[in-house]
Amino acid sequence: MSSTSDSENRAALDLLQAATRKVADQAKPPAWYHVTLGLLVGGLAAIQEAPIVWRFAYEAAALASMFLLVRAKKRHTGLWIPGYRAGRTRWVAAGVGSLFVAIFLLSAWARFDLHLQGVFLVAGALIAVLTTAAGYIWHWAYRLDLAEGRG
Amino acid sequence: MAPAALDAVIHAPLRLQTCAMLAQAATINFATVRELLGVSESVLSKHIKVLEEAGYVAVRKAASDGRQRTWLSLTGAGRKAFAAHAAALRALVGDAGLAAQ
């Protein structure tokens, strides 16, 4: 294309950065999304001591609820960003996922090898709080990525 | 070093902002883009058409709650073109800043 002036280029870059900031603001999920997701994910761990029928029923209901929750968030924000997108956000997602697996395995070991009662309930509560917090941390990382032009 | 090349399809202000938004998400609702840009539906449609014809934007229509919603996303070519355009802009602005010092 024909050459553009320095001021035009600077104005274009400002527009680009402003548009990026608008998306970062728009992408902020409502608090109910983080809390509901936290309760659903925490419930997946907490239910492990229940009879198998209850476990399956809860897991099916939780998966269906997560699907509806994601749909509601997409409708609320008007956009969709994958949790594993490149940048700091991917580290947050991978870190939280690994932490959940570690908590779950530790709970299973404590319950089935050490025969401790109620560990899955404690793990569920812990995962619920961590999931809720992780939602906020992820969005903070997303804003930081966008501000630095990463991801 | 070769001068940074700007993409004429992307450089128009509304298309630049649209691409900048789409680059940060997998998909964005047409209505959301329109609200964030503060433009009319017809104006945005015209610019989306240009980006779509260039192969930079994919348009998907989906029914939700009995309403037809339009979702926009950057194609692979669109992401590459936008990344190159943004890099070229930064290089040009950076070069101009250095020359002014």
Inform me whether the pLDDT recorded for B2 exceeds 60. Answer: no
Of B8, B23, B31, the CB nearest to A78: B31
Inform me whether the pLDDT recorded for B1 exceeds 50. Answer: no
Question: B10, B18, B24: which to substitute to probe chain A, counting the most A Cβ within 10 Å?
Answer: B24
* C-alpha span between A79 and B72 (Å, rounded): 9
| B21 interaction partners in chain A (CB closer than 8 Å) | 19-20, 22-23
Interface of A with B in 14-43 (CB under 8 A): 15-20, 22-24, 26-27
Inform me whether the pLDDT recorded for B97 exceeds 60. Answer: no
Inform me whether the pLDDT recorded for B101 exceeds 80. Answer: no
Q: How confident is the model at residue B93 (pLDDT cuts 50, 70, 90)?
A: confident
Q: How confident is the model at residue B66 (pLDDT cuts 50, 70, 90)?
A: confident
pLDDT digits (tens, 9 = 90+) for B40-55: 999 999 999 999 999 9
Dihedral angle sign, alpha carbons of residues B15, B17, B22, B24: positive
Q: How confident is the model at residue B8 (pLDDT cuts 50, 70, 90)?
A: very high
* C-alpha span between A83 and A89 (Å, rounded): 7
Ranges of each domain in chain B: 8-93
pLDDT tens, residue order, chain A (151 aa): 545 688 888 999 999 999 999 999 999 999 999 999 999 999 999 999 899 999 999 999 999 999 999 999 999 999 999 988 888 999 999 999 999 999 999 999 999 999 999 999 999 999 999 999 999 999 999 999 988 876 5
Cβ proximity of A72 and A64 under 8 Å: no
CB contact under 8 A, B92 and A6: yes
ipTM for the complex shown? 0.85
Of B11, B13, B24, the CB nearest to A146: B24
A5/B contact by beta carbon, under 8 A: no
Size of chain A, expressed as the number of residues it contains? 151
| A82 interaction partners in chain B (CB closer than 8 Å) | 26
- The residue of chain A nearest to residue B67, with distances taken between CA atoms, is A75
Reported pTM: 0.85
CB contact under 8 A, A16 and B92: no
| Average pLDDT along chain B | 89
Ranges of each domain in chain A: 6-147
Dihedral angle sign, alpha carbons of residues B25, B27, B31, B37: positive
CATH of B8-93, one of 3.40.50.720, 1.10.287.3510, 1.10.10.10, 2.60.40.10: 1.10.10.10
CB contact under 8 A, B89 and A9: yes
Model pLDDT, residue A34: 95
